[in-house]
């Protein structure tokens, strides 16, 4: 009985271990890295294509309309009639129509 408990399991081939490790890496890439890279690419494309009159939401949650796009990567955002904020392009989170259409 003691010899059965102390017996070591049979060795797995190193090829099987490499195949399993490769499979785990492929699954990790498919479900974690690829979707994040795709989302980041879409966000960059959205920020690069901003135009005057677009209604946006900043990462701080401020809603407004783009009034002017400056050369130094900043935007002039109209938050209420006659009230403007100067923000960085990178502070834009998403387009307001995306939030309105989800409801």
Pairing relationship of beta strands 92-95 and 55-58 according to DSSP bridges: antiparallel
Query: Helices (H) and strands (E) in the chain — how many of each?
Result: 4, 5
For 51-103, CATH gives 2.30.30.140
Are 99 and 57 a contacting pair, CB within 8 Å? yes
DSSP 8: P
Could you read off the pLDDT of 2-34 as tens digits, one per residue? 565 565 566 678 888 899 999 999 999 899 999
Phi, psi of 68 (to 5 degrees): -155, 140
pLDDT tens per residue across span 27-59: 998 999 999 999 889 888 988 899 999 999 999
CA distance 21 to 34: 18
Give the start-to-end residue ranges of the domains of the chain: 12-49, 51-103
Q: Look up the pTM and report it.
A: 0.65
């Amino acid at each position: 009985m003691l010899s059965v408990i102390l017996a070591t399991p049979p060795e797995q081939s190193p090829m099987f271990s490499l195949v399993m490790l490769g499979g785990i890496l492929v699954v990790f890439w498919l479900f974690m890295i690829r979707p994040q890279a795709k989302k980041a690419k879409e966000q960059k494309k959205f920020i690069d294509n901003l135009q005057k009159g677009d209604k946006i939401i900043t990462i701080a949650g401020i809603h407004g309309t783009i009034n002017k796009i400056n050369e130094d990567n900043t935007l002039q955002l109209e938050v209420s009639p006659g009230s403007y904020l100067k923000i960085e392009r990178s502070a834009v989170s998403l387009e307001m129509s995306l939030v309105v259409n989800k409801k």
